[in-house]
A = this chain, B = another copy of it.
């Protein structure tokens, strides 16, 4: 254990551990452009190596970042000793002077009730717990321990699912809508493990699940290792692809706000605006309009079909989209309707 280092201070860390923390600091500040001063960071803390590395790094960086730190641990009730693990997690946080909220759920019962997989149900319960704590601490941000290996797995899963660009490059490091932060997203798992070793810190539980019934586990255990075997610096590529997507987003998904919805909730993209865009941007603008109307992801093939109807000026053409949304081509442009508005 690292009691001899307590209280942890960045200046007193072994050089290797300090470099890891400064890398996280630079990622938050320079790459994400975030100023976190005065914020509360609520850390999703499983007790596994990733979130332990995140907890320790954020703890060391807290004075420098100007943040205060809290933690939250959800006991999924899936292992006989999970309550003891939760106790150890809370004690670990207490040792750092970080308050840790603990709740217990029965993820198995939940998964039956939801008709979802256990991991899925567990994740839903976890994020609901975190959201509740965030609501009780206005302005707080949720920080989670996803790291570069998770990102590479996420990219491969997105590739499999058939996701387009720039979404193909994986999960965001900062999601303003969910007020969710992933400070370790470009740090390889082994860097976090080396950081823990440098501090003499142990992680208490490894929530990594190797059940091959779960796609993420198959990607982790079977597919990512194949990519790493072919290209030992594959993780660098995953980080590069992520950075390229962040740049491309600026060009491909301009931040121009969508027009305000009409009284029936529908949104009109004017013909003149759409005609001035190259196809790549026109399709993404249509996608943004549809997504603004509620859940349901439009398929690329359907967007293409809508674009063809628009370019051929097939006025009154109506296309249906997932989430019972619809789009109608007219002389003035394309009008997008939320679920059932067109038939109401």
Contact = CB atoms under 8 A, between A and B. Distances in A.
A304 B283 CA distance: 29
A218 interface: yes
A281 interface: yes
- By Cβ-Cβ distance, the 6 closest A-B pairs, closest first, are A162-B237, A247-B280, A251-B280, A160-B230, A248-B280, A160-B231
A226 B230 contact: no
Interface stretch (A91-99, A101-109, A238-246): A238-246
A234 interface: yes
Interface string A267-294: 0000000000011110100000000000
Interface in A163-185: 164-166, 168
A159 interface: yes
A209 interface: no
Given A226-B222, A227-B159, A164 B280 contact: no
A161 interface: yes
A245 B160 contact: no
A166 B164 contact: no
Question: Main secondary structure on chain A at its contact with chain B?
Answer: helix
Interface in A235-263: 236-237, 240-241, 243-245, 247-248, 250-252
Nearest to A237: B162
A1 interface: no
A155 to B, nearest CB: 8
A231 B226 CA distance: 18
Contacts of A11: none
A30 to B, nearest CB: 11
Contacts of A280: 244, 247-248, 250-251
A241 B278 contact: no
Nearest to A280: B247
A200 to B, nearest CB: 33
Interface of A: 159-162, 164-166, 168, 215, 218, 222-223, 226-227, 230-231, 233-234, 236-237, 240-241, 243-245, 247-248, 250-252, 278-281, 283, 300-301, 304
A256 to B, nearest CB: 14
A215 B226 CA distance: 11
B166 A240 contact: no
Nearest to A304: B243
Given A231-B162, A245-B165, A278 B251 contact: yes
B248 A252 contact: yes
A218 B247 contact: no
22 contacts: A159-B227, A160-B227, A160-B231, A161-B231, A162-B233, A164-B240, A164-B241, A165-B165, A165-B245, A215-B230, A223-B226, A226-B226, A240-B300, A243-B304, A244-B300, A247-B278, A247-B279, A247-B283, A248-B280, A251-B251, A251-B252, A251-B278
Contacts of A244: 164-165, 280, 300
Nearest to A277: B251
Given A160-B237, A168-B241, A250-B279, 10 more contacts: A159-B237, A160-B231, A162-B241, A165-B168, A165-B241, A165-B248, A218-B230, A226-B226, A240-B300, A250-B278
